[in-house]
Amino acid sequence: MKQFAYEARDQASDKVVKATIQAESETSAARLLIKQGFVPLTIKEASDSGSFFAQLTGRITTKDKVVFTRQLATLIGAGLPLSQSLNTVIEQTNNKKLQSVVQEVQASVEGGRTLSDSFAKHPKVFNEVFLSLVAAGELSGTLDESLQRVAAQQEKDAATVSKIRGALTYPIIVLLVIGGVMAFMLFTVVPQVEKLYADMDKELPFLTLAMVTMADFLANFWWLVLIILGIGGYFFAQYLKTENGIRMADNFKIKVPVFGKLFQKLYMARFARTGQTLLSTGVSMLDMLKITGRSVNNVIIEEAVGRAATKVQGGKGLSTSIEAETVFLSLVPQMIKIGEQSGKIDEMMGRVAQVYEDELDEQIRTISTTIEPILMVVLAVVAGGMVGAILMPIYGLVNGTSV
């Protein structure tokens, strides 16, 4: 699909609209515009030859989407017509890529399509949860409230993911420091020890000899190491995009020591929060489970939700269906059961989400405080071992010489 910049006249309002549209060719783009109620004036293929850096910095972030959604909700809630609200948001949006997307949405809305259908043309920007909430808001006449809910949902999810990334960043930095220390010792200090032993015609101790051999290999064949790592990294990345690779990675996330429980609580919070948001806007139970399963972003959890949905469709309660799935933490079916008895499932799912979000915050703080001394000990052991392997032979030489 190619992207075309067009200028067209809206037959309904007689206004000239400028935006972009995706199509196979200029002819296809013209047909699409005519179908939407526009008279094409000019159609040109949009240039997509920007630098990689420009494309990277021009991506649409969660923050951009949250700001856009809240602005749109405020304008619609104030009573402005939908097309005018979209036009105002376009003027206030700084992200050029999002601005282009919203212009296409506005053109589609002015062509007679619903807002949810217009958003659905951009699945990479607006996910299923977003589309379902907008559609539910349009049907119930509470579009502004639905948009506010989806913005809150996006904010909470982004905040939780950001905290987990922050907890994982520190260990990665320390491991890089350990690697840097090892490289420094191997390429600067170890060769000096080897030279000292060669000058004195002595045999290197086994551990020092192993380090010398490693340093020599890396110094002479660093290019081979980089090629192997590059090829290995590429094929591993490609494997992670396959069905088996995705399953392996998602299964690893919920079973890995220390961080496994962290990911489980993240998925439970995401499942419960999304479920609460969808149910509170009038989305049916089965549709909620279908959308929520995909939004969790873990195929193992998604399959469990799918099996639970099948049981719900067969007449079983949601709590009973989920309770049979071992990947769900016990609090989830317990709270949903209370919600089923009280008729407030959405409210109970919201409380479950809050519990796990609070536990995530606490666990991240705990991991951050406990992992620091552990990593410092690892760093000390690695650096100390290397220093010992270098200094002990030198002390041996000194003692042998003094004797």
Give the pLDDT score at 234: 93
Rounded to whole angstroms, the Cα distance separating 402 from 133 reads 83
pLDDT band at 387 (very low <50, low <70, confident <90, very high): confident
Of 295, 327, 288, nearest in space to 157 by CA = 295
Kindly tell me if the per-residue pLDDT of 97 is higher than 90.
Answer: no
Give the pLDDT score at 247: 92
Give the pLDDT score at 403: 44
Percent of all residues in the chain with a pLDDT value above 90, rounded to a whole number: 17
Q: What is the mean pLDDT of residues 198-206?
A: 73
Rounded to whole angstroms, the Cα distance separating 29 from 27 reads 5
Report whether 322 contacts 328 (CB < 8 A): yes
Q: How far is CA 228 from CA 233, 237, 253, 295, in A?
A: 8, 14, 26, 36
pLDDT band at 7 (very low <50, low <70, confident <90, very high): confident
Give the pLDDT score at 399: 65
Q: What is the mean pLDDT of residues 243-263?
A: 88
Give the pLDDT score at 236: 93
The single-letter code of the amino acid at 192 is Q
Kindly tell me if the per-residue pLDDT of 248 is higher than 90.
Answer: yes
Give the pLDDT score at 400: 59
Rounded to 5 degrees, φ, ψ at 196 are -60, -45
pLDDT band at 49 (very low <50, low <70, confident <90, very high): very low
Domain 142-403 classification at class level: mainly alpha
Q: What is the mean pLDDT of residues 286-301?
A: 87
pLDDT band at 163 (very low <50, low <70, confident <90, very high): confident
Q: What is the mean pLDDT of residues 176-184?
A: 81
Torsion sign across C-alpha atoms 71, 73, 78, 80: positive
pLDDT band at 268 (very low <50, low <70, confident <90, very high): very high
pLDDT digits (tens, 9 = 90+) for 298-327: 899 999 999 999 999 998 999 999 998 889
Query: Structurally, what CATH architecture does the domain formed by 60-126 represent?
Result: Up-down Bundle (1.20)
